[in-house]
Structure 1
Amino acid sequence: MTNLTVYGLKNCDSCKTAIKALDAAGLAPRFVDIRAEADLVVKVPAWLDKVGAKALVNTRSTTWRNMSDEDRAIADGDPAGVLIAHPTLIKRPVIEAGHTVRVGWTAATLDTLTAGAAE
Protein backbone atom coordinates (compact mmCIF):
# COMPACT_ATOMS: atom_id res chain seq x y z
CA MET A 1 0.00 0.00 0.00
CA THR A 2 1.38 3.37 -0.90
CA ASN A 3 0.81 6.64 0.87
CA LEU A 4 0.21 5.28 4.38
CA THR A 5 0.61 8.04 6.98
CA VAL A 6 0.19 7.75 10.74
CA TYR A 7 -0.55 10.98 12.61
CA GLY A 8 0.02 10.94 16.34
CA LEU A 9 2.38 11.79 19.15
CA LYS A 10 5.86 10.35 19.50
CA ASN A 11 5.22 9.29 23.10
CA CYS A 12 1.74 7.82 22.47
CA ASP A 13 1.68 4.07 23.19
CA SER A 14 -1.11 3.43 20.68
CA CYS A 15 0.87 5.23 17.99
CA LYS A 16 4.02 3.27 18.81
CA THR A 17 2.07 0.00 18.66
CA ALA A 18 0.50 0.95 15.34
CA ILE A 19 3.83 1.92 13.76
CA LYS A 20 5.50 -1.27 14.99
CA ALA A 21 2.67 -3.48 13.68
CA LEU A 22 2.50 -1.68 10.33
CA ASP A 23 6.27 -1.93 9.92
CA ALA A 24 6.16 -5.65 10.78
CA ALA A 25 3.43 -6.11 8.14
CA GLY A 26 5.71 -4.49 5.57
CA LEU A 27 3.55 -1.39 5.13
CA ALA A 28 6.28 1.15 6.05
CA PRO A 29 4.10 4.04 7.25
CA ARG A 30 5.26 7.63 7.41
CA PHE A 31 4.84 9.14 10.90
CA VAL A 32 3.75 12.75 11.38
CA ASP A 33 3.71 14.33 14.84
CA ILE A 34 0.39 16.17 15.21
CA ARG A 35 1.88 18.83 17.47
CA ALA A 36 5.09 19.56 15.56
CA GLU A 37 4.62 18.62 11.91
CA ALA A 38 0.98 18.27 10.86
CA ASP A 39 -0.91 21.03 9.07
CA LEU A 40 -3.96 20.70 11.31
CA VAL A 41 -5.75 23.63 9.68
CA VAL A 42 -5.99 21.48 6.55
CA LYS A 43 -6.09 18.00 8.09
CA VAL A 44 -8.64 18.36 10.91
CA PRO A 45 -11.57 19.54 8.74
CA ALA A 46 -10.83 16.77 6.22
CA TRP A 47 -10.69 14.15 8.98
CA LEU A 48 -13.93 15.45 10.49
CA ASP A 49 -15.62 15.16 7.08
CA LYS A 50 -14.45 11.53 6.77
CA VAL A 51 -14.96 10.17 10.31
CA GLY A 52 -16.97 12.75 12.27
CA ALA A 53 -16.34 14.48 15.58
CA LYS A 54 -17.48 11.54 17.69
CA ALA A 55 -14.64 9.39 16.32
CA LEU A 56 -12.00 12.13 16.26
CA VAL A 57 -12.45 13.96 19.58
CA ASN A 58 -10.88 12.04 22.45
CA THR A 59 -13.31 12.70 25.28
CA ARG A 60 -11.38 10.30 27.53
CA SER A 61 -8.16 12.34 27.37
CA THR A 62 -6.70 14.35 30.22
CA THR A 63 -7.00 17.46 28.08
CA TRP A 64 -10.77 16.93 27.71
CA ARG A 65 -11.26 16.19 31.41
CA ASN A 66 -9.38 19.38 32.31
CA MET A 67 -11.43 21.58 29.98
CA SER A 68 -14.16 23.79 31.36
CA ASP A 69 -17.79 23.06 30.55
CA GLU A 70 -17.78 26.19 28.38
CA ASP A 71 -14.83 24.91 26.34
CA ARG A 72 -16.50 21.51 25.96
CA ALA A 73 -19.61 23.25 24.65
CA ILE A 74 -17.45 25.10 22.12
CA ALA A 75 -15.97 21.73 21.09
CA ASP A 76 -19.48 20.43 20.42
CA GLY A 77 -20.21 23.40 18.15
CA ASP A 78 -16.79 23.86 16.54
CA PRO A 79 -14.79 20.65 16.90
CA ALA A 80 -12.29 21.69 14.21
CA GLY A 81 -11.33 24.87 16.03
CA VAL A 82 -10.87 23.09 19.35
CA LEU A 83 -8.88 20.20 17.82
CA ILE A 84 -6.60 22.62 15.98
CA ALA A 85 -6.04 24.60 19.18
CA HIS A 86 -5.58 21.46 21.31
CA PRO A 87 -4.04 18.68 19.16
CA THR A 88 -3.85 16.33 22.13
CA LEU A 89 -7.67 16.10 21.94
CA ILE A 90 -7.31 14.21 18.65
CA LYS A 91 -7.90 10.51 19.18
CA ARG A 92 -4.78 8.67 18.07
CA PRO A 93 -3.47 7.43 15.85
CA VAL A 94 -5.13 8.92 12.79
CA ILE A 95 -4.17 6.77 9.83
CA GLU A 96 -4.51 7.95 6.25
CA ALA A 97 -4.37 5.16 3.69
CA GLY A 98 -5.02 6.66 0.29
CA HIS A 99 -8.43 8.34 0.56
CA THR A 100 -9.40 6.41 3.70
CA VAL A 101 -9.04 7.72 7.25
CA ARG A 102 -9.05 5.47 10.30
CA VAL A 103 -8.93 6.64 13.90
CA GLY A 104 -7.57 4.59 16.78
CA TRP A 105 -5.69 1.30 16.74
CA THR A 106 -7.07 -2.22 16.92
CA ALA A 107 -6.19 -5.57 15.41
CA ALA A 108 -9.11 -5.02 13.04
CA THR A 109 -7.46 -1.82 11.80
CA LEU A 110 -4.31 -3.76 10.97
CA ASP A 111 -6.36 -6.49 9.25
CA THR A 112 -8.16 -3.89 7.13
CA LEU A 113 -4.95 -2.12 6.16
CA THR A 114 -3.10 -5.32 5.29
CA ALA A 115 -6.08 -6.56 3.28
CA GLY A 116 -6.08 -3.26 1.37
CA ALA A 117 -2.36 -3.61 0.70
CA ALA A 118 -2.93 -7.05 -0.84
CA GLU A 119 -5.42 -5.69 -3.36
Structure 2
Amino acid sequence: MLTLYGISNCDTVRKARKWLEAHQLDYHFHDFRKDGLTTEQISRWTDGVGMEKLLNKRGTTWRSLPEERRDGLDTQGLQSLLLEYPTLIKRPLLEGDTICHVGFKETEYSALINGVSHE
Protein backbone atom coordinates (compact mmCIF):
# COMPACT_ATOMS: atom_id res chain seq x y z
CA MET A 1 0.00 0.00 0.00
CA LEU A 2 1.22 3.46 -0.85
CA THR A 3 1.08 6.33 1.60
CA LEU A 4 1.05 9.93 0.48
CA TYR A 5 2.22 12.39 3.13
CA GLY A 6 1.56 16.10 3.07
CA ILE A 7 -0.97 18.71 4.07
CA SER A 8 -4.43 18.73 2.58
CA ASN A 9 -4.43 22.36 1.41
CA CYS A 10 -1.16 22.07 -0.56
CA ASP A 11 -1.70 22.38 -4.34
CA THR A 12 1.08 19.93 -5.19
CA VAL A 13 -0.34 17.35 -2.79
CA ARG A 14 -3.74 17.77 -4.45
CA LYS A 15 -2.17 17.16 -7.88
CA ALA A 16 -0.46 14.01 -6.61
CA ARG A 17 -3.71 12.73 -5.08
CA LYS A 18 -5.60 13.35 -8.33
CA TRP A 19 -2.88 11.53 -10.28
CA LEU A 20 -2.98 8.50 -7.96
CA GLU A 21 -6.79 8.39 -8.16
CA ALA A 22 -6.81 8.81 -11.95
CA HIS A 23 -4.46 5.82 -12.18
CA GLN A 24 -6.69 3.84 -9.80
CA LEU A 25 -3.93 3.31 -7.26
CA ASP A 26 -4.83 2.49 -3.68
CA TYR A 27 -3.16 4.82 -1.25
CA HIS A 28 -3.59 6.25 2.20
CA PHE A 29 -3.30 9.99 2.73
CA HIS A 30 -1.48 11.06 5.89
CA ASP A 31 -1.81 14.74 6.82
CA PHE A 32 1.30 15.93 8.68
CA ARG A 33 -0.66 18.42 10.73
CA LYS A 34 -3.71 16.34 11.59
CA ASP A 35 -2.17 12.86 11.86
CA GLY A 36 1.21 13.81 13.30
CA LEU A 37 4.63 12.28 12.67
CA THR A 38 7.01 9.95 14.43
CA THR A 39 10.78 9.88 14.72
CA GLU A 40 10.72 6.51 12.92
CA GLN A 41 8.95 7.98 9.89
CA ILE A 42 11.38 10.87 9.64
CA SER A 43 14.35 8.49 10.05
CA ARG A 44 13.08 6.36 7.15
CA TRP A 45 12.73 9.44 4.98
CA THR A 46 16.15 10.89 5.79
CA ASP A 47 17.61 7.44 5.03
CA GLY A 48 15.50 7.15 1.86
CA VAL A 49 15.95 10.56 0.25
CA GLY A 50 18.53 12.37 2.36
CA MET A 51 18.36 15.42 4.58
CA GLU A 52 18.83 18.01 1.87
CA LYS A 53 16.07 16.64 -0.33
CA LEU A 54 13.64 16.22 2.56
CA LEU A 55 14.01 19.72 4.00
CA ASN A 56 11.98 22.50 2.40
CA LYS A 57 14.16 25.61 2.64
CA ARG A 58 11.95 27.62 0.28
CA GLY A 59 8.93 27.93 2.54
CA THR A 60 7.96 30.60 5.02
CA THR A 61 8.42 28.25 7.98
CA TRP A 62 12.13 27.84 7.22
CA ARG A 63 12.64 31.56 6.60
CA SER A 64 10.91 32.45 9.86
CA LEU A 65 13.18 30.22 11.98
CA PRO A 66 15.99 31.93 13.89
CA GLU A 67 19.37 31.52 12.21
CA GLU A 68 20.75 29.51 15.12
CA ARG A 69 18.04 26.86 14.55
CA ARG A 70 18.85 26.61 10.83
CA ASP A 71 22.64 26.57 10.95
CA GLY A 72 24.70 23.40 11.32
CA LEU A 73 21.86 20.89 11.38
CA ASP A 74 22.91 17.28 11.73
CA THR A 75 20.53 14.35 11.17
CA GLN A 76 19.29 14.30 14.76
CA GLY A 77 18.79 18.07 14.82
CA LEU A 78 16.90 17.93 11.54
CA GLN A 79 14.65 15.16 12.78
CA SER A 80 13.77 17.16 15.90
CA LEU A 81 13.08 20.24 13.78
CA LEU A 82 10.82 18.29 11.39
CA LEU A 83 8.86 16.81 14.29
CA GLU A 84 8.33 20.30 15.66
CA TYR A 85 7.61 21.90 12.27
CA PRO A 86 6.22 19.24 9.88
CA THR A 87 5.62 21.83 7.17
CA LEU A 88 9.40 21.93 6.72
CA ILE A 89 9.10 18.58 4.92
CA LYS A 90 8.96 18.90 1.16
CA ARG A 91 5.61 17.81 -0.18
CA PRO A 92 4.23 15.47 -1.18
CA LEU A 93 6.18 12.52 0.10
CA LEU A 94 5.19 9.19 -1.44
CA GLU A 95 6.16 6.06 0.43
CA GLY A 96 5.67 2.39 -0.35
CA ASP A 97 7.53 -0.88 0.14
CA THR A 98 10.24 0.11 -2.33
CA ILE A 99 9.45 3.82 -2.78
CA CYS A 100 10.46 6.93 -0.91
CA HIS A 101 10.01 9.96 -3.14
CA VAL A 102 9.66 13.69 -2.49
CA GLY A 103 7.81 16.04 -4.81
CA PHE A 104 5.39 15.43 -7.65
CA LYS A 105 5.90 15.23 -11.38
CA GLU A 106 3.72 12.96 -13.48
CA THR A 107 6.68 11.45 -15.32
CA GLU A 108 8.47 10.64 -12.06
CA TYR A 109 5.36 9.07 -10.54
CA SER A 110 4.83 6.97 -13.68
CA ALA A 111 8.41 5.69 -13.48
CA LEU A 112 8.12 4.98 -9.74
CA ILE A 113 4.81 3.14 -10.00
CA ASN A 114 5.71 1.09 -13.08
CA GLY A 115 6.02 -2.51 -11.92
CA VAL A 116 5.11 -1.86 -8.27
CA SER A 117 2.44 -4.07 -6.74
CA HIS A 118 -0.48 -2.07 -5.34
CA GLU A 119 -2.20 -4.68 -3.24
Query: Structure 2 regions of 5+ residues with no counterpart?
Result: none
Normalised to the residue count of structure 1, the TM-score between the two structures is 0.89
Judge conservation of contact 1:6–1:29 (CA < 8 Å) in 2.
yes
Normalised to the residue count of structure 2, the TM-score between the two structures is 0.89
What is the CA-CA distance between 1:49 and the residue it aligns to?
0.8
Aligned equivalent of 1:40, options 35, 38, 41: 38
User: In the alignment, which residue of structure 1 is the partner of 2:47?
Assistant: 49
Query: Structure 1 regions of 5+ residues with no counterpart?
Result: none
The alignment-based identity, stated in percent, is 35
What is the CA-CA distance between 1:46 and the residue it aligns to?
1.1
User: In the alignment, which residue of structure 1 is the partner of 2:64?
Assistant: 66
Per-residue CA deviation, residues 39-91 of structure 1 (Å, 9 max, x unaligned), is 322200111011111110000011001111101015x2221111111000000
How many equivalent residue pairs?
Answer: 116
2:79 is the counterpart of 1:87: no
Separation of aligned partners in 2, 1:109 and 1:35: 26
2:101 is the counterpart of 1:97: no
Going from structure 1 to structure 2, the CA distance change for 1:118 and 1:7 (only over 3 Å counts) comes to: closer
User: In the alignment, which residue of structure 2 is the partner of 1:17?
Assistant: 15
Judge conservation of contact 1:34–1:40 (CA < 8 Å) in 2.
no
Moved more, 95-104 or 18-27: 95-104
Separation of aligned partners in 2, 1:85 and 1:94: 18
Separation of aligned partners in 2, 1:56 and 1:18: 17
Separation of aligned partners in 2, 1:37 and 1:6: 12
Separation of aligned partners in 2, 1:85 and 1:97: 24
- Give the superposed CA RMSD: 1.7
Separation of aligned partners in 2, 1:65 and 1:108: 30
